[in-house]
Amino acid sequence: MKPVSPSTHLVAYLRTLHNNCTPPTIRYYMEHDMEPVDEALMINDDILTASVDTADPTDAEAMFELHIQYREAGDETKAHKWLHKAAELGHCQALTKLSARADGENRLALVLKAAELGCDQAQYDLGLWYLHYTSTDYVQKDYAQAAFWLEKAAEQGNMDAQLKLGLMYLEGQGVPQDDDVALAWIRKSAEQEHEWAYSQLGMMYLEGRSVSQSDEEAAACFLKAAKLEDFDATYQLGVMYLEGRGVLQDDEQACFWIRKAAEMGGRDAQALLGSMLELGHATPRNLNEAAEWLAKAADWGDEDAQIRLDRLLRSGVLAERTRDRIDLLSRDPGAGRILH
């Protein structure tokens, strides 16, 4: 029977048992990093039994390790048992995993316990709950509590918390308004390659908020965010190339970035690309393609795109295939935006 490669995790664990337990099947497995399919289940059972026998029941990390091993073996019942045991012993990751499966007060209790034990993801989640940033009503909105927990997570290097905390300092929500502190936290998040942080920095430089206004710095930040697939920054970069702000004016680059943002689902980019194609501005004129992009923007509620699209539909210049596609979209229950 053809051998198959086991998980790296299981091979590593087998090697830790080598000094204490090396029957022929396990020795062969370790030496060749593979196992026959018909022996796999037997070996896995032996290893898991040995794991339980040697694990310290008071060691949270060991209990969580058993959870991982049983889950990899496909035994969800026992995996859940060891996950609960790890959580009871205060394992942060176990508490966070359990909280994702819980509801209401149980979920709040688990997240709060994990946050108090220093789990940065739980601290971040709790901060968002206090902000009512997510659709939950586990806690009353409290900006001060939100800032407290977000700062805990941010100090541990959680880049999402760093960005959110920076924005709170920027707006003075739950903390004294402080441009310098806001900028420091947002920069820390950007240093970890957070695309939204780069995008936010770009807007700050563009508007001269908390920093000296600089189109060049704005464009540089938008480029970093665009390379990380942030569609707002991708759109802004395209506009800067279109207008020659902070970069040399370049129609080809403008079209490239604006089209990319439109393909990513950005409403403003879709509307702008549609208008550019309609007018032949910075790109060859193409009324049929223009109508399709305007239709996409109109579906997002862009009123100017709706007006432009209606004018094209009334003009009679569009190909029948284009009209059919747009009419099909207009009959979507969620659309209802065609004016003609």
* Residue-wise DSSP of 292-312: HHHHHHHHTT-HHHHHHHHHH
In a domain, 200, yes or no: no
Asked whether residue 290 is assigned to any structural domain, the reply reads yes
Residues facing residue 35 across a β-bridge? 4
Give the pLDDT score at 94: 87
158 located within any domain:
no
pLDDT tens digits, 58-81: 887 888 888 888 888 888 888 889
More confident residue, 161 or 18: 161
Model confidence at 53, in pLDDT bands (50, 70, 90)? low
User: Is residue 32 included in any domain, yes or no?
Assistant: no
Buried b or exposed e, range 269-290, using 16+ CB within 10 angstroms: bbbbbbbbbbeeebbeeebbbb
Q: What is the pLDDT of residues 226-247, one digit of tens each?
A: 999 999 999 999 999 999 999 9
In a domain, 295, yes or no: yes
Asked if the structure places residue 74 within a domain, the reply is no
What integer is the mean pLDDT of 264-285?
97
Rounded alpha-carbon distances, angstroms, from residue 225 to 2, 142, 237, 247, 289: 47, 31, 9, 16, 27
Region 313-330: mean pLDDT is 86
pLDDT, position 64: 87
Indicate if the pLDDT at residue 29 is higher than 50. Answer: no
* Assigned domain for 314 exists: yes
> Do 295 and 277 touch, CB atoms closer than 8 A?
no
Under a CB-based contact definition with an 8 Å cutoff, are residues 56 and 62 in contact? yes
210 is a domain residue: no
pLDDT value at position 67?
Answer: 84
In a 3-state reduction of DSSP, which class is residue 214? coil
- Report d(CA 87, CA 92) in Å as an integer: 7
pLDDT at 203 over 80: yes
Closest CA to 261 of 291, 241, 281: 241
What total of structural domains would you count in the chain? 1
Q: Is the pLDDT of residue 2 over 50?
A: no
Q: Sign of the C-alpha dihedral, residues 252, 253, 258, 264?
A: positive
pLDDT at 54: 66
Domain assignment of residue 324, given as a range: 265-340
Predicted pLDDT at 308: 95
Q: What percent of the chain has pLDDT over 70?
A: 79
